[in-house]
């Protein structure tokens, strides 16, 4: 019933009374429990879902619907506090802690819109990998793969797989270096990373607070717009579709195409040609600030490593370290070597690079490039070779992490396929706090990017 249905299409059925939210919720839970890949979800919230679905059903029958999303299912990455369930952050070391006593602020906001929380999705442990591999709860299979077990991308692996597999129309993830946009691109769905601070972060387990942001994974830009409105407490979306003739894109010539797979570049460039033919202005330029980010990291260390180490320092010094994913431990401990002076240098340089990037853009321009330089790779070689794991992880995070460092908002839209028929993502980014303009543009560009116009 819910397979590959958008929020918009389900809303028509639920709001018209053709589909009762209780039946939709039961069907959703049945699909999840019967799905071949049991590593997508780490837990279901059946009792809560039944209560919320029943309340939505009664409201809608009485003519008191809370709006477009009332009675529709949503899943949460295992970083969000959901009252009555344990926020384990994809780890076994938190599995025995007390259940959350209250909802995260964004969970409560989405609940106020009438959405039905059905469960928690799997993820990279402590959100510290762009690949989505989890040795504790299993790694979700990429639903787009038709040959071998390919990674779903991370760290919001289960969230992307749940949507791509048609189990839920919406899942909410977090994005510190690409953790919404990467799995969206790898699985062929839409992933929107909001500007850091657009939503209240209370009740969300952090990774690196100067980089952490949130966002929805779904099947369309319109669904992302609806989810965004609910996530920051609006009763209805306020985004207006942009006019194609008013849109301008700039394609970076720095970093983002380095060592990119030919098929990925071809899919992206084909989408650009469609946009240009429709009247969208496109130009290309170098972005020295992009290269400067990686030069800074080589000199001072990574901002995410410094903040993740500060968060997990006591855990790494105790017995919990032996229970964690060894690869997560290795990456987190890199932060121990970052001095306070290096950390401050990173923050100061970050401010300079954000301003330099803004000054290099013409008024109203959006940045466009492939979300990833490659399609989702097979999992087995990554499990067998730590060096390969770290190399692929760094390359996977490269393009998207630029946006986190520069405090962009961004949205990944499928633009075709690459090697092995795997999805390719087209990333559109805007400077911080220009989310409404980004989403308005994405609404107008989506069909052309997907080659559906």
Whole-number Cα distances in Å, 339 to 132, 241, 273, 300, 392: 29, 46, 47, 8, 27
Q: Cα separation of 107 and 305, whole Å?
A: 27
Residues 6+ apart with CB under 8 A from 369: 251, 252, 256, 257, 268, 399, 427
Residues 6+ apart with CB under 8 A from 248: 280, 281, 282, 283, 362, 364, 365, 366
Out of 155, 156, 213, 412, the active site residue is 155
Out of 91, 129, 179, 213, the active site residue is 179
Out of 5, 39, 57, 77, the active site residue is 77
* C-beta of residue 123 within 8 angstroms of C-beta of residue 78: yes
Residue 179 annotated among the catalytic residues of the structure: yes
Q: Cα separation of 337 and 343, whole Å?
A: 11
Bridging pattern class, strands 41-44 and 365-370: unpaired
Whole-number Cα distances in Å, 431 to 187, 356, 407: 26, 12, 7
Q: Cα separation of 446 and 426, whole Å?
A: 10
Residue 77 annotated among the catalytic residues of the structure: yes
DSSP 189: S
Residue 155 annotated among the catalytic residues of the structure: yes
Backbone angles phi, psi at 115, to 5 degrees: -70, 155
* C-beta of residue 157 within 8 angstroms of C-beta of residue 163: no
Backbone angles phi, psi at 138, to 5 degrees: 90, 160
Q: Cα separation of 143 and 186, whole Å?
A: 10
**What residues form DSSP beta bridges with 430?**
409
Q: Cα separation of 104 and 122, whole Å?
A: 18
Residues 6+ apart with CB under 8 A from 450: 413, 414, 415
Cα 215 to chain centroid, rounded:
6
Residues 6+ apart with CB under 8 A from 239: 225, 228, 229, 436, 439, 440, 443
- Give catalytic residues, as residue numbers: 77, 155, 179
């Amino acid at each position: 019933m819910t397979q590959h249905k958008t929020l918009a299409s389900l809303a028509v059925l639920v709001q018209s009374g053709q589909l009762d939210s209780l039946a939709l919720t039961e069907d959703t839970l049945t699909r999840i429990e019967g799905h071949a890949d049991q590593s997508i979800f780490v837990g279901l919230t059946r009792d809560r879902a039944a209560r919320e679905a029943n309340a939505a059903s009664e409201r809608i029958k009485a003519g008191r619907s809370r709006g477009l999303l009332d009675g529709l299912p949503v899943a949460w990455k295992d970083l969000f506090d959901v009252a009555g369930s344990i926020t384990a952050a994809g780890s076994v070391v938190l599995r025995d802690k007390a259940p959350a006593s209250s909802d995260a602020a964004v969970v409560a906001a989405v609940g106020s819109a009438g959405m039905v929380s059905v469960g928690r999705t799997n993820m990279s442990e402590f959100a510290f990998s762009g690949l989505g591999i989890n040795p504790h709860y299993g790694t979700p299979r990429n639903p787009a793969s038709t040959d071998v077990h390919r990674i779903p991308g991370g760290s919001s692996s289960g969230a992307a797989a749940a949507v791509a597999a048609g189990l839920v129309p919406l899942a909410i993830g977090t994005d510190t270096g690409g953790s919404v946009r990467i799995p969206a691109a790898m699985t062929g769905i839409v992933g929107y990373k909001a500007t850091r601070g657009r939503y209240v972060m209370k009740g969300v387990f952090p990774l690196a607070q100067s980089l952490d942001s949130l966002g929805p994974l779904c099947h369309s830009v319109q669904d992302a717009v609806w989810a965004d409105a609910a996530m920051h407490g609006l009763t209805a979306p306020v985004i207006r579709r942009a006019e194609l003739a008013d849109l301008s894109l700039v394609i970076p010539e720095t970093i983002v195409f380095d060592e990119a797979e030919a098929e990925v570049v071809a899919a992206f460039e084909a989408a650009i040609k469609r946009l240009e033919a429709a009247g969208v202005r496109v130009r290309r330029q170098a972005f020295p600030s992009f290269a400067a980010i990686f030069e800074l990291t080589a000199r001072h260390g990574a901002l995410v490593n410094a903040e993740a180490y500060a968060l997990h320092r006591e855990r790494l010094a105790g017995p919990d370290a032996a229970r964690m994913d060894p690869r997560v431990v290795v990456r987190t401990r890199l932060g121990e070597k970052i001095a306070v002076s290096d950390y401050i240098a990173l923050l100061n340089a970050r401010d300079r690079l954000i301003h330099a990037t803004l000054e290099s853009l013409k008024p109203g321009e959006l940045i466009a490039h492939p979300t990833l330089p490659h399609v989702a790779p097979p999992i087995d070689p990554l499990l067998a070779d730590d060096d390969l794991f770290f190399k692929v992880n760094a390359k996977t995070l490269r393009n998207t992490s630029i946006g986190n460092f520069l405090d962009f908002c961004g949205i990944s839209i499928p633009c075709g396929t690459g090697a092995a028929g795997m999805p390719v993502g087209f990333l559109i980014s805007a400077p911080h706090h220009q989310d409404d303009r980004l989403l308005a543009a994405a609404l107008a560009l989506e069909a052309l990017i997907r080659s559906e116009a």
